[in-house]
Amino acid sequence: MAAKHISWAEPFKIKMVEPLFMTTRAHREKALEAAGSNTFLLRSEDVYIDLLTDSGTSAMSDRQWAGLMLGDEAYAGSRNFYHLEEAIHRYYGYKHVIPTHQGRGAENLISKILIKPGDVVPGNMYFTTTKLHQELAGGMFTDIIVDEAHDPNSGFTFKGNVDLSKLQGVINTYGAERIPYVSIATTVNMAGGQPISLANLQALREFTSKHGIRIIHDMTRVAENAYMIQQLEEGQGNKSIAAIVKEICSLTDGATMSAKKDALVNIGGFLATNEWDVFEEARNLVVIYEGLHTYGGLAGRDMEAMAIGIEESVQDAHIRARVGQVFYLGHKLLDMGIPIVKPVGTHGVFLDAKAFLPHLRQTAFPAQALAAELYIDSGVRAMERGIVSAGRDQKTGEHCFPELELVRLTIPRRVYTQAHMDVVAESVQRVFEQRHSVTGLRMTYEPKYLRFFQARFEKLPAA
Ligand code: F0G
């Protein structure tokens, strides 16, 4: 964890501010009850420091805001689309681009195009929306990430790595022809924001090429992954973030992007591919689900902000400060003795709810209960990433029981200060001191898809 000691002072100063409001404990108790103990159902007005997600919550730069004024809102062939296309060619290197309203729009397209019923999609851990689109297209996701990724206490540096022997096992069972692609995320969100190494990706490229299998890259946090490679991978320290990002992309055949994360915009995404046939099909399908292939559900101004955000996101000084702030919070919590996923990830700090609340069984939703408790304590909003997020098994209808039962303190980019991180750490510490009095939850409403977004819960009585 060498990056801990690097100065991460922000390479910007603040030009515009938005007031925050603190609420009383009594107010928060009422608000949480109205939200069915689900932080997704809180009104943001009732939140003090919002660490629900780093998605769409970044502060844009003055250049991006200026870009909004240059929106060319033509229905077809907007100038901003060509700027976006240029930025993607320059910084990511993919040949063909289809804008989408956000990441899951791109996931829908690629899943529909490449997956046939009965197919199997191996990946370095699941992501909620990605997996669901694979399933809706008739496919089955299967996890081929290294075992270390499922252990919050393993200090392994590249927990996003693929275990090639697991991939070989999937090929032995199903045959390469039933694997339309391997789904690779940089970084791995559900493992705690953990990176894949360049060496592992290179080995995967070699392996999949031999079997004629594509790699589709979920590049939502690719710059953050590149930073970890630059800091921690043998022989990569002298490369720029921009160079590593491009190298990662060059090892894959196509990508889905939620530009709401790395690319520093409040809305937007795209599908990219190096294959003409896939592009043609996507260009046709996008008009059904998103809009014409030169806007994909976005305003011209959104595409302009994205083009500028992509360029800003691969600057070394930016990414050092971004990950530096996450590391600051993570190491502060570690110093306090709080159980978190190790090593600290790049977009947030993940509390280990199983270790935090060992008296709660997993069916009492410990991470959901912990996120609720943290909100009550200080108005800090976090997100459950455990059994609720994992959903139910497609075949048996039973809960999936993930090894990792986590609460994610996700840090928006360029939004909060070091002092805010201190407030968060102090609140986590207070909840930790009172952890024995935290009770579990019972689910009272469960939506069919992606239940974590809208599920409702009730507190169980104290044991
Ligand atoms: N892939 C990853 C790794 C993600 O983290 C997300 C979104 C998506 C795909 C889908 O993109 O939201 O633009 O449709 N993650 C958000 C989060 C929701 O809070 O982690 P989207």
For the sheet with 254-258, list strands across it: 96-100, 269-273, 254-258, 214-218, 181-185, 120-123, 140-143
Give catalytic status of residue 260 as yes or no: no
CATH code of 77's domain: 3.40.640.10
Pocket of ligand 1 (CB under 6 A): 53, 55, 102-104, 127, 129-130, 185, 189, 218, 220, 258, 260, 269
Give catalytic status of residue 75 as yes or no: yes
Q: What angle do CA 403, 404, 410 make, to 5 degrees?
A: 170
- Answer whether residue 141 is part of any domain: yes
pLDDT given for residue 462 in this prediction: 84
Q: Give tens-digit pLDDT for 86-133.
A: 999 999 999 999 999 999 999 999 999 999 999 999 999 999 999 999
Answer whether residue 5 shows pLDDT above 70: no
Domain match, 94 and 37 both: no
Pull the structure tokens for residue 345.
């990830």
Domain match, 305 and 322 both: no
DSSP β-ladder status, 456-459 and 441-445:
antiparallel
- Answer whether residue 333 is part of any domain: yes
Domain match, 269 and 408 both: no
Residues near 210 by Cβ (< 8 Å), separated by ≥ 6?
none
Look up the pTM and report it: 0.96
Strand, coil or helix: 379: coil
Which of 278, 313, 348 represents a domain boundary (last residue)? Answer: 313
397 with 408: CB under 8 angstroms?
no
In the predicted model, what is the mean pLDDT of residues 440-451? Answer: 96
How is 275-323 classified by DSSP, letter by letter? -HHHHHHHHHHHHHHT--TTTTT--HHHHHHHHHHHHHHT-HHHHHHHH
pLDDT given for residue 315 in this prediction: 98
Q: Give tens-digit pLDDT for 351-402.
A: 999 999 999 999 999 999 999 999 999 999 999 999 999 999 988 999 999 9
- The DSSP secondary-structure symbol of 101 reads S
Give catalytic status of residue 127 as yes or no: yes
Give catalytic status of residue 452 as yes or no: yes
Compute the distance between CA of residue 448 and CA of residue 444 in angstroms, rounded to an integer. 13
Domain match, 182 and 74 both: yes
DSSP β-ladder status, 383-385 and 96-100:
unpaired
278 with 122: CB under 8 angstroms?
no
Which of 313, 332, 362 represents a domain boundary (last residue)? Answer: 313
Q: Which of 128, 187, 208, 294 is catalytic?
A: 128
| Ligand 1 mean position, distance from CA 346 (Å) | 14
Q: Give tens-digit pLDDT for 19-46.
A: 999 999 999 999 999 999 999 999 999 9
CATH code of 435's domain: 3.90.1150.10
Q: Which of 46, 54, 119, 218 is catalytic?
A: 218
Pull the structure tokens for residue 280.
């043609």
Domain match, 285 and 150 both: yes
Q: Which of 295, 375, 452, 457 is catalytic?
A: 452
- Answer whether residue 409 is part of any domain: yes
304 with 68: CB under 8 angstroms?
yes
pLDDT given for residue 2 in this prediction: 47
- The DSSP secondary-structure symbol of 74 reads -
- The DSSP secondary-structure symbol of 373 reads H
Compute the distance between CA of residue 56 and CA of residue 253 in angstroms, rounded to an integer. 26
Nearest CA to ligand 1 atom 16: 55
Domain match, 73 and 88 both: yes
- Answer whether residue 176 is part of any domain: yes
Which of 313, 338, 362 represents a domain boundary (last residue)? Answer: 313
- Answer whether residue 129 is part of any domain: yes
Answer whether residue 7 shows pLDDT above 90: no
Domain match, 184 and 39 both: no
The range of the structural domain enclosing residue 335 comes to: 25-54+316-459
Domain match, 261 and 203 both: yes
Compute CA distances 434 → 265, 333, 357, 437, whole Å.
38, 16, 10, 6
Q: Give tens-digit pLDDT for 174-231.
A: 999 999 999 999 999 999 999 999 999 999 999 999 999 999 999 999 999 999 999 9
Ligand 1, pocket-test mutation among 108, 221, 261, 450, most atoms within 8 A of CB:
261
Pull the structure tokens for residue 107.
């996931």
- Answer whether residue 284 is part of any domain: yes
Work out which ligand 1 atom sits closest to the CA atom of 54.
19
Compute the distance between CA of residue 214 and CA of residue 138 in angstroms, rounded to an integer. 18
In the predicted model, what is the mean pLDDT of residues 69-83? Answer: 98
| Ligand 1 mean position, distance from CA 258 (Å) | 6
| Ligand 1 mean position, distance from CA 256 (Å) | 10
- Answer whether residue 99 is part of any domain: yes
Domain match, 302 and 334 both: no
Give catalytic status of residue 218 as yes or no: yes
Domain match, 226 and 238 both: yes
- Answer whether residue 18 is part of any domain: no
Domain match, 194 and 290 both: yes
Work out which ligand 1 atom sits closest to the CA atom of 347.
20
pLDDT given for residue 397 in this prediction: 93
Compute the distance between CA of residue 211 and CA of residue 124 in angstroms, rounded to an integer. 18
pLDDT given for residue 6 in this prediction: 67
Domain match, 49 and 69 both: no
Number of structural domains in the chain: 2
